Chain A
């Protein structure tokens, strides 16, 4: 019986083989939100994962950079850097022994560029370099470096205004002479000085006619000021100063009548109001 009706299978199989019917118009509307929701969740998951990784990496890098900068209390040198900083590069000079204290890179720079290799007490502080590297002393090129390599200098905490951040300069010459302003010499905060200066003395009048007549009769004389000064250097441009000074203020007055008792005195010349050392009677 089954075989007898098996022909009907072919009828339906062939008849429905390429059968297509357009689905209802709104069928896609029931599918799209489900797919979009999942896609959106995936996007959010990925975004959250990326943000978490970025944040974690940032924290680690920030922590490491702080730990690294804090560890550079003195100058350090790394190798194999590409860029050249501002500065003057001297040709290699052979058979010259560097003066001390300076960085003698050939004997002290580690062969590997690793932070662990640097010890702040291995190198002299940066402010000792300028004198040694002065252009007037070309016969003593001070930074001798391994041949054929570029270097990056981390010059320690004595550089410029920010004492916390090491100054980084790089060089790819055999010797490196930094610009004068690149490395600041150590400065004394306190300064003592002597001062002597001529001084001009003048009086200003009031509305009183008698006083104005008195002032008009005065004329300046040679005055001077001198003494010791003390200065505190706040930074490169500003300093606070104080001192102990002596000033001699002189002026001349003509036509002043002075009476003593019943006698009239004619004061024709005076070097100082308080010193009547030139009185004519």
Chain B
């Protein structure tokens, strides 16, 4: 802990080595977050860069209370949200009627064969607004009320978007596991 305090101190003093050290230590995990919230690698890279610039700018406000990694993650998520709001104000959501429910029973589905990379691939195929709501609710743990204020939507819309996201994910996971199973058995 004292190590990260020294690094933060160095960053605040403008020490380039400490700045790069902080980046090297945490960029992999934060880039994973960026990939979750973005539709492509280019967007993820932009979020990562903007997020780290904000992290360095706001280091002086970090009170050393709670997890430093969690603090950085929140900044990156907020950066992703800002980017989303700026790009997808006129986002069009597919009508619920066009999304058909998966045939398989989700309770009996076997997810053991899915790796993190598979999950990332699946989640990035979600429409942006569904992806945002799902990430904020299922991964970050925000409530629908908080998500509504973050995205500028109503609580009900957040809930319905989450439902649609889950249906899509369930369907995609099912088909993905089926494909993998066939590939393994075949």
Q: Does B14 contact A (CB under 8 A)?
A: yes
Which residues of the other chain, B, contact A15 by a CB distance below 8 angstroms?
111, 114-116, 119
Which residues of the other chain, A, contact B8 by a CB distance below 8 angstroms?
none
Q: A16 contacts which of B16, B107, B120 (Cβ < 8 Å)?
A: B120
Chain B, 143-174, CB within 8 A of any chain A CB: 159, 162-163, 166-167, 169-170, 173
* A44–B129 alpha-carbon span in the complex (Å): 44
Which residues of the other chain, A, contact B53 by a CB distance below 8 angstroms?
31, 34-35
In the bound complex, do residue A23 and residue B138 qualify as a contact, i.e. CB atoms below 8 Å apart?
no
In the bound complex, do residue A5 and residue B28 qualify as a contact, i.e. CB atoms below 8 Å apart?
no
Q: A2-B159, A27-B45, A43-B14 are in contact. Are A7 and B116 (CB under 8 A)?
A: no
Which residues of the other chain, B, contact A13 by a CB distance below 8 angstroms?
138-139
Query: How many contacts between A and B, using CB within 8 angstroms?
Result: 106
| Interface flags, B18-37, vs A, CB<8A=1, else 0 | 01100100011101100110
In the bound complex, do residue B28 and residue A23 qualify as a contact, i.e. CB atoms below 8 Å apart?
yes
Which residues of the other chain, A, contact B35 by a CB distance below 8 angstroms?
21
B46 (CB) vs chain A CBs: closest residue: A30
Q: Does A168 contact B (CB under 8 A)?
A: no
Which residues of the other chain, A, contact B28 by a CB distance below 8 angstroms?
20-23
Q: Does B123 contact A (CB under 8 A)?
A: yes
The B contact surface, by secondary structure, is helix
Q: A8-B170, A12-B169 are in contact. Are A19 and B20 (CB under 8 A)?
A: no
Shortest Cβ distance from A98 into chain B, in angstroms? 62
Q: Does B178 contact A (CB under 8 A)?
A: no
* A40–B43 alpha-carbon span in the complex (Å): 28
In the bound complex, do residue B49 and residue A27 qualify as a contact, i.e. CB atoms below 8 Å apart?
yes
In the bound complex, do residue A36 and residue B106 qualify as a contact, i.e. CB atoms below 8 Å apart?
no
* A19–B121 alpha-carbon span in the complex (Å): 12
* A31–B47 alpha-carbon span in the complex (Å): 11
Which residues of the other chain, A, contact B111 by a CB distance below 8 angstroms?
11, 15
In the bound complex, do residue A11 and residue B119 qualify as a contact, i.e. CB atoms below 8 Å apart?
yes
| Interface flags, A25-38, vs B, CB<8A=1, else 0 | 00110111011101
In the bound complex, do residue A31 and residue B106 qualify as a contact, i.e. CB atoms below 8 Å apart?
no
A20 (CB) vs chain B CBs: closest residue: B28
A-B contact sample (8 more), CB < 8 A, given A19-B29, A22-B27, A30-B49: A5-B166, A15-B116, A19-B116, A20-B29, A27-B45, A28-B20, A31-B49, A35-B53
Binding site for B on A (CB under 8 A): 1-2, 4-9, 11-13, 15-16, 18-24, 27-28, 30-32, 34-36, 38-40, 42-43
Cβ contacts A to B, 9 pairs, < 8 Å:
A8-B138, A8-B166, A12-B123, A12-B138, A15-B115, A30-B45, A32-B19, A35-B53, A43-B14
